[in-house]
């Protein structure tokens, strides 16, 4: 699962660089992914996830257990 947020499911997008003369070349818009450890209070251990900045905010807002449950229900992760 490279370049995919394990909480939000964000992945890379493909677009164009557009020059001043309107020449278009392909480019990639990559999500802001970080590898981060989160403490799971239920399992009493650290869980390492590759998450975007928006995913980190979601975990801080909902809690780790709820965010993992929602991601599993959406089919993003299979823990």
Q: Is the pLDDT of residue 29 over 60?
A: yes
Q: What is the pLDDT of residue 2?
A: 84
What radius of gyration do the chain's Cα atoms show?
A: 16
The pLDDT of residue 1 is above 70? no
Best CA proximity match to 16, nearest among 8, 7, 26: 26
What does pTM read for this prediction? 0.84
In 3D space, the residue among 28, 9, 31, 2 whose CA is nearest the CA of residue 17 turns out to be: 28
Nearest-angstrom CA–CA distance, 51 and 7: 6
Architecture in CATH for domain 13-74: Roll (2.30)
pLDDT for res 61: 97
Under the banding of pLDDT at 50, 70 and 90, the label for residue 71 is: very high
- The answer to whether 5 touches 51, Cβ cutoff 8 Å, is yes
Examine the pLDDT at 36 and tell me if it is beyond 60: yes
Determine the average pLDDT of the residues in 41-70: 96
| Residue found under tokens 């209070």 | 41
Residue 13 pLDDT > 60: yes
């Amino acid at each position: 699962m490279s370049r995919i947020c394990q909480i939000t499911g964000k992945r890379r997008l493909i677009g164009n660089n557009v020059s001043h003369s309107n020449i278009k070349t392909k480019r990639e818009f990559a999500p802001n992914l970080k590898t981060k450890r989160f403490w799971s209070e239920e399992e009493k251990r650290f869980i390492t996830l590759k998450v975007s900045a928006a995913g980190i905010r979601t975990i801080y807002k909902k809690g780790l257990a709820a965010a993992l449950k929602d991601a599993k229900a959406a089919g993003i992760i299979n823990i």
